[in-house]
Structure 1
Amino acid sequence: MTGTTYTPPPAHGRDGPFAIPTGLLIGEQWMEAASGARIDVDDPANGSILTSVADGDIAEGIAAVDAAAAAAADWAATAPRKRADILLACFHAMMAEQEWLAQLISLENGKALSDARGEVAYAAEFFRWYAEEAVRINGELGISPSGGNRILVQYQPIGVSLLITPWNFPAAMATRKIAPALAAGCTCILKPAAETPLTALAVAEIMRRAGVPAGVVNVVNTSKPGPVCSAILHDPRVRKLSFTGSTQVGRLLLREAADSVVSSSMELGGNAPFIVLDDADLDAAVEGAMIAKMRNAGEACTAANRFYVQRGIHDAFVAKLVEKMGAMKVGPGIEAATQCGAMINRKAVDKIVWLVGDAVGKGAEVRLGGQAIEGDGYFYPPSVIANVQPGSEILDNEVFGPVAAVIPFDDPEEAIALANATEYGLAAYVYSENLKTALKIADRIECGMVAVNRGLVSDAAAPFGGVKQSGLGREGSHHGLIEYCEAKYIAVSW
């Protein structure tokens, strides 16, 4: 390893297995940016600077494409079993360092250590899942209707892939893209979020040590994502784009990708409804709400944003939710007792303040929290606002924070209409003891994923993605692997 490194402070008696490289991974080595520029990485819990990482430019982006293209043929020709073995080695290497990686995530992201541990386990699972899927890329053989020839279909790696990940799940969003790309036989360039690059760099180093060949995974940090990603997407050797982030940025990237007709997968914004019917198990619904809302302190695209609660159970639900959320300990994520950590930055807190202020100004009632926490770091407390009125901005915008907006309804038809009254369609949650009713509602909600009587929807074995302006394509499951493949049809006569 060459270049500058970062050693996180030891916490809970656990030192890391190596100093984290803070350069750019291009080909077989870590290197500094030619300009010498660096990006500061903040600790959201107190606003201090943890370290800095190399700030790549267009030249480094194209160098990463060079490295990925040079490695592409050999990796595509690598036997599926060999690719699977390497991915499984990555899984075991990540899980062996789960506590250390969790502490790193908490430091640079701010999330509670318990959430970070869950993220590492979820992230590693993509390596194990796609190790199993790598050997099951099955083709097809059929006879043409005319009987004139056989129809042979095989799946080939799509090619060099640009993977762009967000700050809220810096490990999981990286592995959810890297693992299927590698399983399919593709090489890639990872562009992690500038707010949380250290986790991505640590994962890349773990993969390198686990046996991923040079050039198969390249990492380019940059404070200039627009120009750098545009240059990469306009290189004819790049054939795939996978992006997780806001709908606004997704639209811009789709325009860039269109110039070269680059295959694009988009996991974009969400505005998840959480519907609770009168016949729901109240305690189970509240527990599910805590998971759906407070996982990662609400900084998740699948987070429940709008709580539609039938009037007969509304008051009891709100009271229990206030009790549960009010008991959560807020503090630095790295502290073991913390249940709700810091937001990623000041801008995130300001957005929450604006959304809550707008809702209250239009008639909503603050039942818990409702004001940012003063002092060092970027904290907003768990909050519940009830009787949110139509037209409130919080109903149309992702909160991305620990605020539950509750709205009463009378009839399930009303709840369905309210749930669908958004440009987004990623995830939804439905609680009812009548499974037939719950599934009928789930069937009519316009979204890619619905959790029925549970607060967690994500699973490496399930297709993750949305409809409408929440995205294109799917990640996870076998569907996520096919996103990195091209189907080739061969007409054969014998």
Structure 2
Amino acid sequence: MPVELFIGGAWRPASDGARISVADPATEQEIASVASGSVADGLDAVTAAHRAGPGWAATAPRERAEILRRAFDLMTERTDELAALIVLENGKTLADARGEVAYAAEFFRWYSEEAVRSLGTVQTAPSGTNRILVLRQPIGVCVLVTPWNFPAAMATRKIGPALAAGCTVVLKPASETPLTALAIGGILTEAGVPAGVVNVLPSARSGPVVRAMLDDPRVRKVSFTGSTEVGRALLSGAAKTVVSSSMELGGNAPFLVFADADLEAAVDIAMVAKMRNGGEACTAANRFYVERAVADEFTALLTTRMGGLRMGHGLDEEVALGPLVNAESRDKVAALVAQTVAMGATAATGGSIVGGTGHFYPPTVLADVPPGAPVLTQEIFGPVAPVVAFDGETEAVALANDTEYGLVSYVCTGDLAKGLRVAEALDSGMVGLNRGIVSDPAAPFGGTKQSGIGREGGHEGMLEFTESKYIAVEW
């Protein structure tokens, strides 16, 4: 299990010897001590990526594609090993971790196919005087900053398209979950990625290290997944050197259930949309708006399903809900619930911290949630489902859109025309229509408003790592 920085194809300790203690959220025990990169280490990683850039950009697209395909194969072969590592440092269940590894590996396969499709264009100028030739060229050195909730998938979703486009990268994973990122760095090297093309820099000093890299004129791209607050700060820093920025930020996903929906199916969909990764996902359903005629029935069905989930260590195959990633996350969820109950909501199940070791919070359903309650205005990032009744399609859309975020929305209805009409009216970058998962490596992932800038996945995901060069030519 790699625990050092990965810079220029070599494993090395931090320049000042600093370390990060990585703990199992279920036991609160240290599982590894990982090197914590300094500003100097960050700039060394940029140097390594910069030096490797011309050679990687000149590598034939087919060769880049074959390397990514080998990385997919290696990740797939090591699913159990990687899944166990994710459980230990992140806390999610084994089933969720296996699903993440499969999803993460798929980005390498998808972009192995896209690597040979970085298509330009040629056309005659409207005046007829010349041809307009447009090339897609790699943007250059990319700084990739990833969160702890999907330590494998958030890394591959950025590394895959960057490498396919011909870019080199410095990956800065979250301090809570650096082990998975380091393991992926090793897999890419084994797959044939040349030294310096991929660098992995765990660091507990994220702010100073990332700022120093963004201030370096050799860095031409930053891709960040995380909170809107941190995203704003990174955008401000990127403005100094006009660094191209892709931001996948916070969410506050509405989940709309209309009276004509199959309620049993709607609850199945809700459990996926809410409880994937224990609710610690930017795509997690955050606010449940249910048409008044079926609100009580839906709440009762959801309460039964949520209350029946077994909680424990994620390595236990029978466990359906692991701990939250750390005590701060657990306490934030507990505070949101307590504030909402104090405003008049009722905890139909759960609603308070479980005692003992580990950062556990029980599956919770809140009924009679009043307007303006904290769980409706803030991203919960935990296993809590607040339910609010609505009257009619117009009110449902208005409630759903009443947020500064616009990442994803969910709609359950038996009327396809209504579903499509509502989906078009929702102000979000993605909509799950009678479906609890929207993420797919072949689809453009991203949001509107303060949920982000740009798209990841699909063909659009690779274009984020390219520059268009226009050549005016006559022949």
| CA distance, structure 2, for counterparts of residue 24 and residue 127 of structure 1 | 22
| CA distance, structure 2, for counterparts of residue 28 and residue 436 of structure 1 | 54
Matching residue of 1:54: 35
Tell me which of 88, 95, 115 is aligned to 1:114. Answer: 95
What per-residue deviation string (whole Å, max 9, x for no partner) do you get for residues 119-147 of structure 1?
A: 00000000000000000111101111101
1:340 has 2:326 as partner:
no
What per-residue deviation string (whole Å, max 9, x for no partner) do you get for residues 143-193 of structure 1?
A: 111011000001000000000000000000000000000000000000000
Q: Which amino acid is the alignment partner of residue 431 of structure 1?
A: C
Q: Which amino acid is the alignment partner of residue 147 of structure 2?
A: P
What is the Cα deviation at residue 326 of structure 1? 1.2
| CA distance, structure 2, for counterparts of residue 422 and residue 301 of structure 1 | 14
Q: Which amino acid is the alignment partner of residue 43 of structure 1?
A: D
| CA distance, structure 1, for counterparts of residue 450 and residue 353 of structure 2 | 30
What is the Cα deviation at residue 250 of structure 1? 0.2
Within-5 A mapping of 1:400-411 = 400-411=381-392
Matching residue of 1:245: 226
Within-5 A mapping of 1:321-332 = 321-332=302-313
Matching residue of 1:79: 60
| CA distance, structure 2, for counterparts of residue 390 and residue 283 of structure 1 | 26
Tell me which of 113, 135, 153 is aligned to 1:132. Answer: 113
1:307 has 2:262 as partner:
no
What is the Cα deviation at residue 315 of structure 1? 1.1
Runs of 4+ in structure 1 off by over 6 angstroms are none
Identity %: 60
Matching residue of 2:156: 175
Q: Normalization by structure 1: what TM-score? A: 0.96
Matching residue of 1:279: 260
| CA distance, structure 2, for counterparts of residue 375 and residue 183 of structure 1 | 47
What per-residue deviation string (whole Å, max 9, x for no partner) do you get for residues 389-433 of structure 1?
A: 011111110100000000001111111001011000000000111
Tell me which of 339, 346, 353 is aligned to 1:358. Answer: 339
1:158 has 2:119 as partner:
no
What is the Cα deviation at residue 210 of structure 1? 1.2
Q: Which amino acid is the alignment partner of residue 306 of structure 1?
A: R
| CA distance, structure 1, for counterparts of residue 309 and residue 299 of structure 2 | 16
Matching residue of 1:16: none
Stretches of structure 1 lacking an aligned partner (at least 5 in a row): 1-19
Matching residue of 1:123: 104
What per-residue deviation string (whole Å, max 9, x for no partner) do you get for residues 23-74 of structure 1?
A: 1000020000121110000100011111110011010000000100010000
| CA distance, structure 1, for counterparts of residue 424 and residue 340 of structure 2 | 30
Stretches of structure 2 lacking an aligned partner (at least 5 in a row): none
What is the Cα deviation at residue 312 of structure 1? 1.1
Matching residue of 1:217: 198
Within-5 A mapping of 1:135-146 = 135-146=116-127
| CA distance, structure 2, for counterparts of residue 71 and residue 124 of structure 1 | 24
| CA distance, structure 2, for counterparts of residue 101 and residue 429 of structure 1 | 30
Tell me which of 402, 421, 434 is aligned to 1:421. Answer: 402
| CA distance, structure 1, for counterparts of residue 97 and residue 15 of structure 2 | 33
Q: Which amino acid is the alignment partner of residue 244 of structure 2?
A: S
| CA distance, structure 1, for counterparts of residue 44 and residue 71 of structure 2 | 25
Matching residue of 2:50: 69
What per-residue deviation string (whole Å, max 9, x for no partner) do you get for residues 256-279 of structure 1?
A: 000000000000000000000000
Match of 2:276, SS state, is helix
What is the Cα deviation at residue 21 of structure 1? 1.1
1:349 has 2:323 as partner:
no
Tell me which of 460, 464, 471 is aligned to 1:479. Answer: 460
1:147 has 2:95 as partner:
no
Match of 1:135, SS state, is helix
Tell me which of 64, 72, 76 is aligned to 1:95. Answer: 76
Q: Which amino acid is the alignment partner of residue 447 of structure 1?
A: S
Greater CA deviation, 150-159 or 309-318? Answer: 309-318
| CA distance, structure 2, for counterparts of residue 219 and residue 210 of structure 1 | 16
| CA distance, structure 2, for counterparts of residue 391 and residue 182 of structure 1 | 44
Matching residue of 1:317: 298
Matching residue of 1:27: 8
Q: Aligned residues, how many?
A: 475
| CA distance, structure 2, for counterparts of residue 46 and residue 25 of structure 1 | 28
| CA distance, structure 1, for counterparts of residue 17 and residue 122 of structure 2 | 54
Match of 2:444, SS state, is coil
What per-residue deviation string (whole Å, max 9, x for no partner) do you get for residues 303-334 of structure 1?
A: 00000000111111111111111111100111
| CA distance, structure 1, for counterparts of residue 172 and residue 326 of structure 2 | 20
What per-residue deviation string (whole Å, max 9, x for no partner) do you get for residues 174-221 of structure 1?
A: 000000000000000000000000010111111111111100000111
| CA distance, structure 1, for counterparts of residue 163 and residue 130 of structure 2 | 33
Q: Which amino acid is the alignment partner of residue 157 of structure 1?
A: P
Matching residue of 1:295: 276
Q: Which amino acid is the alignment partner of residue 62 of structure 2?
A: R
Match of 1:115, SS state, is helix
Q: Normalization by structure 2: what TM-score? A: 1.00
Matching residue of 2:360: 379
Matching residue of 1:470: 451
What is the Cα deviation at residue 469 of structure 1? 0.2
Q: Which amino acid is the alignment partner of residue 472 of structure 2?
A: A
Match of 2:116, SS state, is coil
| CA distance, structure 1, for counterparts of residue 450 and residue 77 of structure 2 | 38
RMSD: 0.5
What is the Cα deviation at residue 282 of structure 1? 0.8
Matching residue of 2:248: 267
Match of 2:472, SS state, is strand
